[in-house]
Structure 1
Amino acid sequence: MKPFVLLATRAEDLPADQEYAQFRRYTGLSESELVRVRLEAGPMPTFDLDELSGIFVGGGPFNASDAAEEKSPVQHRVESEFAALLDEVVARDFPYLGACYGVGTVGAFLGATIDRTHAEPVSVVPVTMTDAGAADPLLHGLPRTFEAFVGHKEAISSLPASAVLLASSPLCPVQMFRVGRNVYATQFHPELDVDGITTRIHAYADHGYFAPHELHVTLTAVRRAPVSHPSRILRTFAERYAR
Structure 2
Amino acid sequence: MRTHWLQHVEYEGLGALAPRLAARGLPLQRTRVFAGEPLPAASDIEFLVVLGGPMSVNDEATLPWLAPEKALIREVIVRGTPMLGICLGAQLMATALGATVGASPEREVGWWPITPVPPPSSAPFPVFPFPAAVTALHWHGEAFALPGGTVPLATSAGCPHQALQAGRRAIGLQFHPEADPAWVRTVLAHSPASLRPGPYVMAREDLLADLPERCQQGNAMLDRLLEFIIDT
What TM-score range do you get, normalising by the shorter chain? 0.7 to 0.9
Distance 1:21 1:189 in 2: 10
Match of 1:58 among 45, 51, 57: 51
Distance 2:38 2:191 in 1: 24
Residue equivalent to 1:160: 147
Deviation at 1:96, TM superposition (A): 0.9
Q: Which has the higher helix share?
A: 1
Distance 1:192 1:203 in 2: 15
Amino acid at match of 1:169: S
Which stretch shifts more, 19-28 or 84-93? Answer: 19-28
Distance 1:95 1:46 in 2: 15
CA 1:52/1:118 → structure 2, altered by over 3 Å: closer, same or farther?
Answer: same
Unaligned segments of structure 1, at least 5 residues: none
User: In structure 2, the residue corresponding to 1:148 is in which secondary structure?
Assistant: strand
Identity of aligned residues (%): 25
Structure 2 residue 208 is the aligned partner of structure 1 residue 218: no
CA 1:164/1:106 → structure 2, altered by over 3 Å: closer, same or farther?
Answer: same
Residue equivalent to 1:80: 67
Distance 1:173 1:21 in 2: 26
Structure 2 residue 216 is the aligned partner of structure 1 residue 228: yes
Distance 1:29 1:39 in 2: 26
User: In structure 2, the residue corresponding to 1:46 is in which secondary structure?
Assistant: coil
Distance 1:48 1:160 in 2: 21
Which stretch shifts more, 233-242 or 144-153? Answer: 233-242
Deviation at 1:25, TM superposition (A): 2.1
Distance 2:108 2:226 in 1: 29
User: In structure 1, the residue corresponding to 2:195 is in which secondary structure?
Assistant: coil
TM-score by length of 2: 0.81
Return the structure number with greater relative CO, CA threshold 8 A, min gap 6: 1
Distance 1:108 1:165 in 2: 15
TM-score by length of 1: 0.78
Match of 1:169 among 156, 161, 168: 156
CA 1:29/1:123 → structure 2, altered by over 3 Å: closer, same or farther?
Answer: same
Q: Deviations over 1:98-127 (max 9, x none)?
A: 100122211111222311132423200101
Unaligned segments of structure 2, at least 5 residues: none
CA 1:64/1:228 → structure 2, altered by over 3 Å: closer, same or farther?
Answer: same
Deviation at 1:216, TM superposition (A): 8.9
Verify the 8 A CA contact 1:8 1:37 in the aligned structure 2: yes
Deviation at 1:226, TM superposition (A): 2.4
Residue equivalent to 2:230: 241
